Amino acid sequence: MGNKLSLTILALFYVLATFAQAGFDNWFEKKSLRVDFALSGNSEYQAAALQQLREEPVWAGPVKNLIDDFYYGGYYANVYDKSSGQLIYSRGFNTLFEEWRSTEQAKKEVQSWTNSVSVPFPKKEIVLEITGRDKEDMRFHTLLKLDIDPTSIFIDRSKLKENKTTNIQNKGDLADKIDLVFLGEGYTAEEQDKFVADARKFTESLFKTPPFDTRREDFNVWAVGLISEESGPDVSGKGIFKNTALNSGYYTFGVDRYLTTPDMKSIRDAVWNVPCDAIFILVNTDMYGGGGMYNFYAMGTSDNPRTPVVFVHEFGHSFAGLADEYFSSEVAYDDGFYNLKREPWEPNITTLIDFDSKWKDLLPAGIPVPTPLDNAHKNNIGVFEGGGYLAKGIYRPMDHCMMRDYAPFCPACSRAILRMIDFLSDK
C-alpha cells in the first residue's frame, strides 16, 4: 500500500473517530446519571417504578459505541433525545429479580427489588425507557418511561462515602479502557490489606485465562475497599447471619452454593465515584460458591481452592452474557429457565430455533447438527445436546467449557468475550 493511500485511510479513521466522539459530546457530559428503580411482580407479571435519580461524577463507559446491538439480557435501558426522539444511548442487562421470577416462590407471592442503571449524563432533556423481555415472544416491552430534565431539582447531586480505592492495573484513559472494579464484601477494617491482595490475585487469574490473556491492555482494574462490621457472608441455611457492607449470602433461592446479594443500592453507592464498566464482588470466605448476571455484577469467594476458576466462570456471565452450559446440577428454576420454543439470547447455547444467529459459522464443514458425542466429535466444536440446566432441548458448543466445568472457554464463548471487549473498549 502506498504511503499516500495509508495516510488517506488514517485521516479517514481520524475523522470517523472524531465524529463519534462529537456524537457523545453533543448529547452527554462525562458524568453519570444513575437511575434506581424497583422491579415488582411475580412469575406472571412485572412492573417498574422510579426510586431515585442521582448525578455521579464519572463516566467510564464507551463514548463511541453508544448503541448496544448485542440484544443480550432481560432488560434494556434506552435513552432518547426528547426533542427529536432519536435513540442516543442503549444498554442491555440482567437482574437477579428476573431469575427469582422463575422460582416456585414467585408463583405464590409478589416481591419488589431495587435495581439500578447508569447512563451518560445528558446535556438536554431526555426520555429514559426501561424495557423488559417477555419470555413468550423474546421481545422487549416498555416497563417504564420517564422524561428527565438534567437541570431538575429532583436529581440528587450529593456526594456519598469515599471508600479507599486502590488502582490494581492502569492501562490508560477511562473511555477507551474497560474499568473492572473489585468490591470487598465481608472484610473488616483489619482485613483491608487482605482484600487488596485478593483483588490482585484474581486480576492475575483473569489475565492468565484465554482469551482475556490477549487483551490485558484493554482493562483498568480498581479495588474499592468496603468495611464490613463482621467477616464473611450470610449462610442462612446454616443459621449464620453477618453484618456486612453488601448483605451477601449463600442459599439464594434456597440453593446452598448460590452466593448473591439483592442489595443493588449499596453496590451502586459503593462505586458512585469510581470508573466502572464491570463489577466483581469479592466475598471474604473459603466456602465454594458464586453468582453472576449479565451487566449487573459477578460474585465469588476469596479463599476456596477452586475460586480462581469460579471467578472466571462468574465473570463470563456478568461480562459477556454467557449462559451456563451445565445441565446436571440442582437449580432453583421451576419448569426450566429457558423457553424451548424460542432461541435464547445467550451467545453460547441454542435451542436450534435460530442456530444461524449463533456459532454455526464456526463449525467446520461436514459437522452434523446436532453433533453426536462420540470419539470423532467430542473434543471439537459442534452442537451437543445438554446445556442451560436442561439435558434435552438445549445445545452447547463443546462438550467441556469454562461455562460447564471450568475447562478452557469454548470457541463460541471466546468469540463472545472478545466481541464484548471490543464493544466496551470502543473498538
Give the nearer residue to Zn ion in terms of CB position, either 53 or 403: 403
Residues 332-351 that bind Zn ion (CB under 5 A): 348
Residue in 185, 168, 274 with CA at minimum distance from that of residue 233: 185
What number of chain residues touch Zn ion (CB under 5 A)?
5
Nearer to Zn ion, 115 or 348 (CB): 348
Q: Which residue has the cell 459477578?
A: 298
Q: For 202-288, where are the E strands, in sequence order?
A: 219-225, 278-283
- C-beta of 53 vs 401, nearer to Zn ion: 401
**Distance separating alpha carbons of residues 231 and 182, to the nearest angstrom:** 17
**Residue range at the interface with Zn ion (CB under 5 A); choices 54-62, 151-159, 258-266, 402-410:** 402-410
Q: Is 320 in the site for Zn ion (CB under 5 A)?
A: no
96, 143, 148, 401: which one contacts Zn ion (CB under 5 A)? 401
| C-beta closer to Zn ion: residue 130 or 417 | 417
Nearer to Zn ion by Cβ, of 348 and 351: the residue is: 348
Given 35, 88, 413, 420, the residue binding Zn ion (CB under 5 A): 413
CB of 367 vs Zn ion, minimal distance in Å: 16
How far, in Å, CA of 55 to CA of 155, rounded?
A: 7
Residue with Cβ nearer Zn ion (117 or 413)? 413
Among the residue ranges 83-91, 210-218, 329-337, 409-417, the one whose residues contact Zn ion (CB under 5 A) = 409-417
Q: Which three cell numbers stand for residue 34?
A: 444513575
Residue 403 binding Zn ion, by CB under 5 A: yes
Least separation, in Å, of the C-beta of 374 and Zn ion? 20
Q: How far is the CB of 31 from Zn ion (least distance, A)?
A: 37
Interface region with Zn ion, contact rule CB under 5 A, candidates 74-82, 83-91, 160-168, 396-404: 396-404
Output the nine-digit C-alpha cell for 219.
Answer: 482493562
Structure letter (DSSP) for residue 249 = B
Strand 46-56 vs strand 178-185: parallel, antiparallel, or unpaired?
Answer: unpaired
The answer to whether 47 and 143 are in contact (CB under 8 A) is: yes
416 near Zn ion (CB under 5 A): no
Least distance (Å) between residue 251 CB and Zn ion: 27
CA 48 – CA 46 distance, rounded (Å): 7
CA distance linking residue 403 with residue 406, whole number of Å:
6
Stretch that binds Zn ion, among 70-78, 268-276, 292-300, 413-421 (CB under 5 A): 413-421
Q: Which residues on adjacent β-strands are paired with residue 47? A: 40
Q: What is the Cα gyration radius of the chain?
A: 22
- C-alpha 62/C-alpha 67 separation (Å) is 9
Rounded distance between C-alpha atoms, residue 283 and residue 195, angstroms: 9
CA pair distance 131, 74, nearest whole angstrom: 8
Among 180, 410, 421, 424, binds Zn ion (CB under 5 A): 410
Scanning 47-55, 74-82, 236-244, 395-403 for contacts with Zn ion by CB under 5 A, the matching segment is 395-403
What are the residue ranges of helices labelled H in 28-177?
Answer: 96-100
Q: What are the residues binding Zn ion (CB under 5 A)?
A: 348, 401, 403, 410, 413
